[in-house]
Amino acid sequence: MAGDRIGLPYPPASLAPTSRGPAILRGLNYASGAAGILDGSGANYIERLTFNEQITLFQQTVLQLTVMLGRAAATNLTHNSLFGFAIGSNDYINNYLLLSNNSTRTQYTPSQFVQLLMSTLTTQFTTLYNWGARKFLVSNIGPMGCIPYRLAQKSVDGSCVASDNALVKSFNKALKNLTTSLPSSLPDAMFLYGNSYDIVYNLIQDPYPLGFNVVNEGCCGGGIYNGQLPCLPVIDSLCTNRSEYVFWDSFHPTAAINEILGNRSFAGSTSDIFPINVRQLSKVRI
């Protein structure tokens, strides 16, 4: 959404057959559903591209750019491109908190797990830096304890699960520290820390001024809070007023929420995005 404000189109999937040649010059989307910081996160979905596999795809893109443009121009392009990351929630939802997976919970305390995630993320960001990335927009994890999936599992009254949100807050604090400290070891790197958690959580607590009326139920899905069944073509309970919902399905926010997050990443204050916003970063040349 922040890319819209800069005037950039939605980047196509990196593995799309058409994402070749000149088409890659305006950006690519390497994201994958269920992927996490750790390779094991999301394994319950079997098919996904891990973050490390996404990084490998980016490395292949850099090699293509170098052939197309020459090394100097390819380096200039990657240095001044914006790299957006919204990652970490699957390391909890589809790893640490999985009822069928006790390995990480028995091996790591919550604080040790955060340390593992930060150590792994440091290596991953450093690899991206070494391959030319310089401008990083890193969004923290939203209020995971408020998503319909977790409400269906642990909430008795539809209110957010405090223990889940406590885990997220610990992760987010460490993530902000990481994005603040990394530039000291990665010259010319710029890290923006997007505060999705507070934006979404505060909206859940006071939704009506912005036109939201449903804060604890998915627009599409099934079961308790529409959080027990995924949004599938066979589901006929799709809401008709999706712009009034905070959550689209068991896990994800609606387009209306994403638009708010994008706008506040683009032009928000330091409470939304730190230390500068995307509009300010877009004017910086490296």
Interior angle at CA 219, CA 217 and CA 220, nearest 5: 110
**So what's the pLDDT on residue 99?**
77
Other Cβ atoms within 10 Å of 30 Cβ, number: 19
Just give the CATH number of 2-282.
Answer: 3.40.50
Question: pLDDT truncated to tens, each residue of the chain (286 aa)?
Answer: 555 666 677 899 999 999 999 999 999 999 999 999 999 999 988 789 999 999 999 999 999 999 999 999 999 999 999 999 999 999 999 999 997 766 898 899 999 999 999 999 999 999 999 999 999 999 999 999 999 999 999 999 999 999 999 999 999 999 999 999 999 999 999 999 999 999 999 999 999 999 999 999 999 999 999 999 988 877 667 899 999 999 999 999 999 999 999 999 999 999 999 999 999 999 999 9
Each domain of the chain, given as residue ranges in start order, spans 2-282
pTM assigned to the model: 0.95
CA distance 52 to 78: 18
**So what's the pLDDT on residue 224?**
96
* Residue bearing tokens 């998915």: 218
